[in-house]
Structure 1
Amino acid sequence: MGSAFFEELKSRGLVHQVTDEAALEKQLNEESVKLYIGFDPTADSLHIGHLLPILMLRRFQQNGHVPIALVGGGTGMIGDPSFKDQERQLNTLNTVKDWAQSIKDQLSRFIDFDDETNPAILANNYDWLGEMKLIDFLRDVGKNFTINYMMSKESVKRRIESGISYTEFAYQLLQAYDFLNLYDSEGCLLQLGGSDQWGNITSGIELLRREREVQGFGLTMPLITKADGTKFGKTEGNAVWLDPEKTTPYEFYQFWINTDDRDAVKFLKYFTFLSLDEIAAIEKDFVASPESRVAQKALAKEVTTLVHGEAAYQQAVHISEALFSGEIKGLSAAEIQQGFKGVPSYQVQSDDDLQLVELLVTAGIEASKRQAREDIQNGAIYVNGERRQDLTAALTAEDKLDNRYTVIRRGKKKYFLLEF
């Protein structure tokens, strides 16, 4: 536990708000501290918005502290109102249980639950919230909070105008009770969260003070903003998931490689375990020649490898290079599936005519044979990256990559996939 750890978190820009900073820093320097972050299961996978908190748990563990990953099996059934514009859909117990399990599996890729000296702890707040009786909750938790105190929270204030149910209003008390419970069962003294969690975290510290006369701590990370003003974590309007079935490693890699120049170095500090010296060296090269995209390449490499492993990273680079150079022939069927996910595709039937002109029309790539002939003659049609200008050409066995796919390109950017 060196005193450098907390300083490094600040240098990386990872500390937004903290309660009693001096006391927390002293505690972190002197002993192994147990800390927790809650992850509510609102889908069957975590997404890129969860990555910063997950990596924070890992940073603390690497520095000798004990991270507790709290899956919100109970709170996930209620819904956190923090900075949400409307009420959430309520999910069934079984759905939330399934989601909680897949979240645990994902978390275990980043934090070590079997470490010999300071293994991470996994908890699920359904274990205590699911058993709790309403009378006990009102007597033991509710009596500690005035309505004025609860109403003063930014997350509640923002919703009072548009309406907030009693269910979501009570959410901060459930989260406060989690902190108390984790203190009682594990000796947990620190709660981390995104900056939108400040109100919920301070409610927990208040409950610890009143019920146990103990000083708890809270630390929030900054809300991640992008230089261009768009929301972090979305690409073409879709969430970027940590599950490779939902967001392929290639799409994941592309998300990071396309980071705005103004954000690249900041994200290296947030999302990688490169030392600050290494990041400074990358920044120096990057500032000297931004067109080299050295910061984005380092970022995409580190984060893709961290989340999906070295092999998936190499594959993503291979797909990217093939698409950039047009050398599609070297791709395997699995790589084509990733690289062309979402591209219009056509299942070639056994009785389809494989003459190129015919096939372009049948597959809906061209509107008419006349248009197809024109495009072929003008050199606008590519088969697996190679230009085809012969009007009588047909697709042969050699054109079927891995015997499964043929990639047709029309013009510069329009891709189509033929599946056999």
Structure 2
Amino acid sequence: MTDIIDELQWRGLIALSTDLDALRATMAKGPITYYCGFDPTAPSLHFGNLMQILTMRRLQLAGHKPLALVGGATGLIGDPRPSAERVLKTKEQTAEWVERLQSQIGPLLDFTGPNAARMVNNLDWTQGLSTLDFLRDIGKHFRVNTMIKKDAVSARMNSDAGISYTEFSYQILQGMDFLELFKRYDCRLQTGGSDQWGNLTAGTDLIHKVTGESVHLLATPLITDASGEKIGKSTGGGSVWLAPEMTSPYAFYQYFINVEDSLVGTLLRALTFLDREEITALEKETADKPAARAGQRRLAEAVTTIVHGEEETAQAIAASQALFGRGALAELSAPTLRSALAEAGLAGVRGSLPPVAALLKESGLVASMNEARRTITEGGAYVNNERVTDVEAVVDPADLLHGRYLVLRRGRRTVAGVEWTAE
């Protein structure tokens, strides 16, 4: 069971820790209970949360017992951001989002067997707690001069926005979570992101002050791209979400297909369960033959399968190939096809279908009708992967995929879509 520490280190998943030697000694005595918390600040988990869940799964596979905490209480408060105050959500919306996040975590952990995972909600031990009891029993153990040194709090206190007492108190609530889980389940370890270190240490400090016991922390690193931007942000400026209605399986797959070469090894280690031999071989192949993108393809397949399952992954792979003429478009489901075209660029057309040249311009593949005609004449225009050579060609409505969609391509690599509606 102590080998899991070596495994996490090899995978680059330990950025900060309290005392690894002490943790090894604790694990050597037998399975420990550990937890990671997720706040319902959105209706879905995102890329960064996935790393935490998979780290929990690795510990569980090593024989330890996970507690997945979805913060029905802390979600009502909001973890302080360095920039500005969060907008508080209603209790009803927060409760709904708690259920959504729980449903996403559930399939990624094992809730059966001797080291079964358990789902917990910190609203269970906070909603009945009076203000006076909270201040007397918990608040008295926190020192303001220590609290204001936390990175997010310090940044806000030095800004024009300032920080409310509500968000300032967040670290007390999170510290209380660890104490409560320690008392209820003998929880000895908390995991989280390194950017949460200030909140994580609130719990270990509180447990030591209240009980005299020492417990443990492990924090995973933030992964950034070559420009220093935290990865997990899509090219459109939003997060890569786990919910398929927020980031489609196709878009999710494409995100990993397009990661830069320098990140392939890091992400293969952190986000997949591939063994060391395969990962090392993929790292070498990516370095030796970057154009083949073997590492990206294996990464995208593995992570998409973990999150969305084999069937959706197969559809995403098929769509990725079919859009560029290497597969059958007709075999794609309507939702997958639309998701893929939405990523490429999807233009809406109503009423009668205009000539192909006009569709090329409407979809943005060309800038003018003259350029559209020239593209067709030169043999560079395709509709549903069939080359169009007649500048006056019009699409037969029978060729609409699922009675609604057209895939347009200029040359080998530039794709766009058309979505047709009768009126």
Q: Normalization by structure 2: what TM-score?
A: 0.91
What is the deviation of 1:77?
A: 0.9
CA distance in 1, matches of 2:361, 2:20: 67
1:212 maps to 211
Given the alignment of the two structures, is residue 227 of structure 1 paired with residue 222 of structure 2, yes or no? Answer: no
Give the stretch that moved more between structures: 361-370 or 70-79: 361-370
Please tell me whether the aligned partners of residues 82 and 153 of structure 2 are also in contact (alpha carbons under 8 angstroms): no
Given the alignment of the two structures, is residue 151 of structure 1 paired with residue 148 of structure 2, yes or no? Answer: yes
2:348 maps to 346
1:281 maps to 281
What is the deviation of 1:267?
A: 1.0
What is the deviation of 1:94?
A: 0.4
Unaligned segments of structure 2, at least 5 residues? none
Given the alignment of the two structures, is residue 322 of structure 1 paired with residue 319 of structure 2, yes or no? Answer: no
Amino acid at match of 1:99: W
Given the alignment of the two structures, is residue 24 of structure 1 paired with residue 23 of structure 2, yes or no? Answer: yes
CA distance in 2, matches of 1:19, 1:327: 51
What is the deviation of 1:360?
A: 6.8
Give the stretch that moved more between structures: 154-163 or 140-149: 154-163
Given the alignment of the two structures, is residue 85 of structure 1 paired with residue 79 of structure 2, yes or no? Answer: no
CA distance in 2, matches of 1:392, 1:26: 77
Amino acid at match of 2:50: L
Given the alignment of the two structures, is residue 244 of structure 1 paired with residue 241 of structure 2, yes or no? Answer: no
Q: Aligned to 1:46, what secondary structure does the other structure show?
A: coil
CA distance in 1, matches of 2:417, 2:188: 55
Given the alignment of the two structures, is residue 116 of structure 1 paired with residue 113 of structure 2, yes or no? Answer: yes
Amino acid at match of 1:180: L
CA distance in 2, matches of 1:399, 1:262: 42
Q: CA distance change for structure 1 residues 370 and 78 in 2, over 3 Å: closer, same or farther?
A: same
Please tell me whether the aligned partners of residues 87 and 164 of structure 1 are also in contact (alpha carbons under 8 angstroms): yes
**Residues 210-237 of structure 1 deviation map (CA, whole Å, 9 limit, x = unaligned):** 1122211111111112233222111111
1:103 maps to 101
CA distance in 2, matches of 1:367, 1:284: 41
Q: CA distance change for structure 1 residues 358 and 203 in 2, over 3 Å: closer, same or farther?
A: closer
Amino acid at match of 1:108: G
Amino acid at match of 2:399: D
What is the deviation of 1:7?
A: 1.1
Q: Please, what is the CA RMSD of the aligned residues?
A: 2.4
Q: Aligned to 1:277, what secondary structure does the other structure show?
A: helix
Give the stretch that moved more between structures: 390-399 or 99-108: 390-399
**Residues 102-133 of structure 1 deviation map (CA, whole Å, 9 limit, x = unaligned):** 000000110112x1211101011111222221
Given the alignment of the two structures, is residue 68 of structure 1 paired with residue 67 of structure 2, yes or no? Answer: yes
Give the stretch that moved more between structures: 206-215 or 377-386: 377-386
CA distance in 2, matches of 1:4, 1:358: 62
Give the stretch that moved more between structures: 119-128 or 373-382: 373-382
How many matched pairs?
A: 415
Q: Aligned to 1:37, what secondary structure does the other structure show?
A: strand
2:304 maps to 304
CA distance in 2, matches of 1:207, 1:368: 67
Q: CA distance change for structure 1 residues 414 and 145 in 2, over 3 Å: closer, same or farther?
A: same
What is the deviation of 1:375?
A: 5.3
Q: CA distance change for structure 1 residues 408 and 258 in 2, over 3 Å: closer, same or farther?
A: closer
1:42 maps to 41
Please tell me whether the aligned partners of residues 328 and 384 of structure 1 are also in contact (alpha carbons under 8 angstroms): no
What is the deviation of 1:325?
A: 3.0
CA distance in 1, matches of 2:354, 2:20: 70
Q: Aligned to 1:235, what secondary structure does the other structure show?
A: coil
Please tell me whether the aligned partners of residues 383 and 399 of structure 1 are also in contact (alpha carbons under 8 angstroms): no
Amino acid at match of 1:135: L
Unaligned segments of structure 1, at least 5 residues? none
Q: Aligned to 1:415, what secondary structure does the other structure show?
A: strand
Q: Aligned to 2:218, what secondary structure does the other structure show?
A: strand
Amino acid at match of 1:96: T
2:417 maps to 416
CA distance in 2, matches of 1:19, 1:109: 30
Q: CA distance change for structure 1 residues 386 and 101 in 2, over 3 Å: closer, same or farther?
A: same
Given the alignment of the two structures, is residue 253 of structure 1 paired with residue 265 of structure 2, yes or no? Answer: no
Please tell me whether the aligned partners of residues 365 and 416 of structure 1 are also in contact (alpha carbons under 8 angstroms): no
1:142 maps to 139
Amino acid at match of 1:154: D
CA distance in 2, matches of 1:84, 1:105: 29
